Structure 1
Amino acid sequence: MANTPSAKKATRKIEARTAVNKSRRSRVRTFVRRVEEAITAGDHQVAFEALRAAEPELHRAAQKGILHANVAARKVSRLNSRVRALQA
């Protein structure tokens, strides 16, 4: 248990940051799931639009420290290649 005032404040800050990070992580997962569902359905146009919406969300999450930058880039790259494969 936190004993000093600064430790108590740190605990409050951690709780607040955790809530924000959880929300952001959930939002990213939702956007990625929409792309995955469109790919599974085989609808190139919907998948393409969903990817265009998901890409900035992934990069924003990386910028905010929710994801590592390389993880975000890798996810975008892999989703992009799967969406392009639908077009053929």
Structure 2
Amino acid sequence: MANTKSAEKRNRQAQKRRARNTTVRTTVKVAVKKAREALTTKDAGKTTDAVKEATRTLAKAASKGVIHPRNAARRIARLAKAANAGKAK
């Protein structure tokens, strides 16, 4: 438990940030999951939209500092690679 006023404030700030970060991380997971599901359906239009949305969500999370920029870049690259492999078939 926090003993000083500054420690109590830091605790309040940490709780707000944690809630915000949790929301963003959940949104990222949902977007990536939808993109992966769209890749399995072989529907080109649906896949393109889902991958674009997942890319946007990942980039936004990285810019907010919720996930590391390299982590976002790696995940975006993997989604794009999978989408391009699907188009080639």
TM-score normalised by the shorter chain: which range applies?
over 0.9
Partner of 1:20: 20
Q: Report the Cα distance in structure 2 between the residues aligned to 1:43 and 1:37, rounded to whole angstroms.
A: 10
- Length-normalised TM-score, structure 2: 0.92
SS of the counterpart of 1:3?
Answer: coil
Q: Percent identity?
A: 38
Unaligned runs of 5+ in 2: none
Runs ≥4 in structure 1, deviation > 3 angstroms?
Answer: none
Q: C-alpha deviations, 1:53-86, integer Å up to 9, x for none?
A: 1111111111111111111111111100101111
Unaligned runs of 5+ in 1: none
Matches within 5 A, 1:1-88: 1-88=1-88
Mapped contact 1:43–1:86 kept (Cα < 8 A): no
- Length-normalised TM-score, structure 1: 0.93
Q: CA deviation at 1:8?
A: 0.6
How many residues align? The count is: 88
